Chain A
Amino acid sequence: MTEEYIIDIQHLSKSFGGVKVLDDINFYVRSGEFITLLGPSGCGKTTLLRQIAGFVVPDEGRIMLEGKDISGIPPHKRPLNTVFQRYALFPHLDVFDNVAFGLKLQKLPAKEIESRVKKMLKMVSMTDYEDRSVDSLSGGQQQRVAIARALVNYPKVLLLDEPLAALDLKMRKDMQLELKEIHRKMGITFIYVTHDQEEALTLSDTIVVMNEGRIQQIGTPTDIYNEPVNSFVADFIGESTILNGTMICDRKVEFMGHEFECVDEGFGQNVPVDVVVRPEDVCISSSMEGAQFSGVVESCIFKGVHYEMFVDTDNGYELMVQDYDSFEPGTKVGLRINPDDIQVMRKERTCNTIEAEVEDGEHVSMLGCSWECRVPEGFQEGDKVLAEVAFDKVDLLDNQEDGKLGGEVHFLLYKGDHYHLTILTDDGDHLWVDTDDIWDKGDLVGIDILPEDIKIVRRNG
């Protein structure tokens, strides 16, 4: 059924110098859709866009355009056009010639070129700028010319690589509206790359959230916001508090030391889960009437439309709350979260599971070095095993040299009463760590694990 989709990406993978930038990417784009590839820098979204444009050749997988594989076709033969991040307007050509560039290559009659260029410049409100040199234009004007230059060729799909990133906030907001309007008028499929979640929510029909070369979630802006599938998406899109919880049974979840009703089912009984609470979904009041739990306001900041407060709950968790009313720090407040507003997510993992090999009765090798541990009876030298290490049993040290191996804090998540860190080791392995200490993204750390905290289990299969 691939013909229904204008673009169909199948099992796309790409590595640069041994590092996997894209890992088995699959998604499709409907004709006329505004789809956004969203993710932090380095997540592979630009590489993916450049593969669709043809500048990067995929290692594996196919890119189908209207049912035909275009993976091997060079960029100049693809009926797609790109708006580049830095616009890349030709400095030796004026505005008219920049926009006419593609049409002239098609050897269209001069009359038709002129009328199409003029029509397109009118669409982007740049009518009187035809003879201007591109250097004399402001960032916003260059942006408009870049969009006109791409759209004038009536591409099947328009690719936009963070086109608004270089504009200031106010202009960015205006251009967002205009882009949406242009998309509506032209009816051309847009594939848009951005790291700005707000921009993605504003513009898109569909959002593809990416992280570390993988697609995390595909959905409409409301789906992605209201029902994130994992803690990464929840944290990346909008403000949220992500907490460890336990699904007691259907429609009943426990977190922050309290039981809450929720609407989720099918997780099983007493299953550890992640719980997402959006700050605007926490009801706060000065009376305890109707409250599920209590807390003390710790800080309160005016944010324009609402107040943003951090509340210490009765069981020692920190919760972000947004409300139109302000509550003085120190005030005791009653808090409530409605069942609809609790988003429960399956945990991706409950402990570190590391591939290891038995060296002798007291040592295994894993993560590129040898570790002391208690190898249970029944394992022999050279056995391939798995080592399990609880999140809170990985020690992080200030100096890389002090640890058994070095690593870098790659991603961090505040979980109400502790931090959940993703550590990228020097060899490129991931470790997940729960800690009360405060680290920043990019911090270099030493990693150590005590022998008794490494649990050796058999590998399946």
Chain B
Amino acid sequence: MVKRSTWSIPYLIFMLVFVVLPLLLIVLYAFQDGSGRFTLSNITHFFSDSDSLSTFAVSIEVAIENTLICILLGYPAAWILANRKYNKSAVTVVLFIMPMWINALMRTLATAELFNMLGIALGKGTLLFGMVYDFLPFMIYPIYNTLRKMDQSYAEAAEDLGAAPWTVFWKITVPLSIPGVMSGILMVFMPTVSTFAISEFLTNNKIKLFGTIIQENINSSMWNYGAALAFIMLVIIGITTLFQGSEQTEAEGGVI
């Protein structure tokens, strides 16, 4: 009888080679100069370079805006989808989820073409549009999942105790769906910070995001600085994840 733990060995190797090793390499490169000597200059360079810092600030700003718009649009959509009164078939859910089946790059290119055709100037507006279009399903789905699984008896109990439907929504439904919203934020906010294709196609690189400068540095063989930027981003992701608290572990949202 083969022990069950031995079955995990192939996965372990895969993780080592494709997850742990690249991460280690990023850290290693981030603290080296071009000739392989240990240095902190890559990091200090970032914090003293106003261009990089402002790009970073813009990235965070865009990410926050995108996440907020996704919540504002996604929550009602998820609520309607999860409500059996309004949504009697799974078709509507599929319609909302379907864009995710198509490659994001393709969708973005198509969106850019659409704007060109309509003669709309590319800029921040189009960038946000593209991002919301891309990431909305990732917000809807986790919220939809929590709402769908939510025990209907909580809402009934609140109503029974005298809460009008609107009060039930604010005092019961919203607080109980927070894990789903958190999950959605995690799935929208972080990828937005590191995205570069959307800003490239939808603003013609007029607006640079953090992902864009990482990509530019790596493309122009500035491996060490690129790695340092990636490292800084990883640290931020790490901090955000911690910040979202332990309840994230039991969030019912889940990745598709």
Contact = CB atoms under 8 A, between A and B. Distances in A.
Interface of A: 53, 55, 74-77, 80-82, 84, 86, 88-92, 101-102, 105-106, 149-150, 153
Contacts of A75: 156, 159-160
Contacts of A84: 153, 156-157
A76 B169 CA distance: 13
Given A88-B153, A90-B172, A101-B171, 10 more contacts: A55-B159, A75-B159, A77-B162, A84-B156, A84-B157, A90-B154, A91-B176, A101-B158, A105-B161, A106-B162
B163 interface: yes
Given A88-B151, A90-B172, A82 B163 contact: no
Given A88-B153, A105-B167, A81 B160 contact: yes
A106 B162 CA distance: 8
Contacts of A89: 157
Contacts of B167: 105
Given A84-B153, A88-B154, A153 B176 contact: no
B161 A102 contact: yes
B153 A153 contact: no
A90 B158 contact: yes
28 contacts: A53-B160, A55-B156, A55-B159, A75-B160, A76-B161, A76-B162, A76-B164, A81-B160, A82-B157, A82-B160, A84-B153, A84-B156, A86-B153, A88-B151, A88-B153, A88-B156, A90-B176, A91-B154, A91-B176, A92-B175, A101-B158, A102-B162, A105-B162, A105-B163, A106-B162, A149-B157, A150-B161, A153-B162
Contact of A90 (B157, B159, B162, B165): B157
A149 B161 contact: yes
A24 B163 CA distance: 31
Interface in B2-44: none
B177 to A, nearest CB: 10
B160 to A, nearest CB: 5
Closest 9 CB pairs of A and B: A102-B161, A88-B153, A88-B157, A92-B175, A105-B162, A75-B159, A82-B160, A76-B159, A76-B162
A92 B162 CA distance: 18
Contacts of A76: 159-165
Interface in B139-159: 151, 153-154, 156-159
B147 to A, nearest CB: 15
A53 B163 CA distance: 14
A89 B172 CA distance: 11
Given A88-B153, A88-B154, A105-B167, A81 B176 contact: no
A101 B160 contact: no
A332 B49 CA distance: 107
A81 B153 contact: no
A367 B174 CA distance: 51
Contacts of B175: 92
A84 B157 CA distance: 8
Contacts of A106: 162
Contact of B176 (A82, A92, A102): A92
A412 to B, nearest CB: 34
Contacts of B153: 84, 86, 88
B153 to A, nearest CB: 4
Nearest to B155: A88
A155 B21 CA distance: 65
Nearest to B172: A90
Nearest to B152: A88
Contacts of B159: 55, 74-76
A50 B72 CA distance: 34
B176 A101 contact: no
Nearest to A91: B176
Nearest to B154: A88
A86 B172 CA distance: 17
A102 B161 CA distance: 5
Contacts of A90: 154, 157-158, 172, 176
A197 to B, nearest CB: 26
B161 A153 contact: yes
Contacts of B154: 88, 90-91
A147 B168 CA distance: 20
A259 B163 CA distance: 64
A85 to B, nearest CB: 8
Nearest to B176: A92
Contacts of B164: 76
Nearest to B168: A76
Nearest to A50: B156
Contacts of B162: 76-77, 102, 105-106, 153
Interface in B57-98: none
Contacts of A55: 156, 159
Contacts of A53: 160
A249 to B, nearest CB: 55
Interface string B112-155: 00000000000000000000000000000000000000010110
B129 to A, nearest CB: 35
Contacts of B161: 76, 81, 101-102, 105, 149-150, 153
A82 B156 CA distance: 9
Contacts of B156: 55, 75, 82, 84, 88
A75 B167 CA distance: 13
Interface in B158-196: 158-165, 167, 171-172, 175-176
Contacts of B172: 90
Contacts of B157: 82, 84, 88-90, 149
Contacts of B160: 53, 75-76, 80-82, 150
A80 B157 CA distance: 11
A157 to B, nearest CB: 12
Nearest to A161: B153
Interface string B238-254: 00000000000000000
